[in-house]
Amino acid sequence: MMDTVWVALITSSAPIAATVATLWLSRNNQLRLAWRKDKLDRYEELLDSLSCLAIDGEDWDQANVRFAKAATILALVAPQYVVTALMELHDEIKFSNENKTQQSHDSCLNRLLLAIRRDIGTAIGDDARNFKFHFIGARPPEASCAPRIKQK
């Protein structure tokens, strides 16, 4: 008699447990995807603000404010290795650095891009020794360097 009760309890609770587990996993996946999308948006804003700094004739004050905001926000959401690479780039490009070199700038920028690619999972097969990236300091006349991330 007792065995029958246990079998009935287990049999009736299994579908409920499966449903709860499925809902929990689904919600967890939705949160992970939302987090990834937000992080990608933040990285896009950072790279766009850096690109604006590379454009001749751009409003440097506005571009620097955008870069500062993007970098500060990334400090909250990016892993430490991305923040470290970002700070290395900042130390290289900041106004007070009297020892700026194009080689050091490019090296810091490449480390930052590789760190971002690693964080978002696209760095599979990347080779830091052969990775080369630089900003292209031109844009169509109708494009703007205004912030892209909407304030929440």
On the question of pLDDT at 16 being above 70, the answer is yes
CA distance 63 to 58: 7
- Phi then psi for 101, rounded to 5 degrees? -135, 150
On the question of pLDDT at 42 being above 90, the answer is yes
Q: Are 48 and 148 contacting, i.e. CB atoms less than 8 angstroms apart?
A: yes
Domain-wise residue ranges, the chain? 39-120
CA distance 133 to 116: 13
Using alpha carbons only, how large is the chain's radius of gyration in Å? Answer: 23
HSE-CB at 103 with a 13 A cutoff on CA atoms is: 1
CA distance 103 to 82: 20
Mind listing the pLDDT tens digit for each residue in 56-107? 656 778 888 999 999 999 999 999 999 999 999 999 988 898 898 889 999 9
Mind listing the pLDDT tens digit for each residue in 111-149? 999 999 999 988 888 888 888 888 776 554 555 566 555
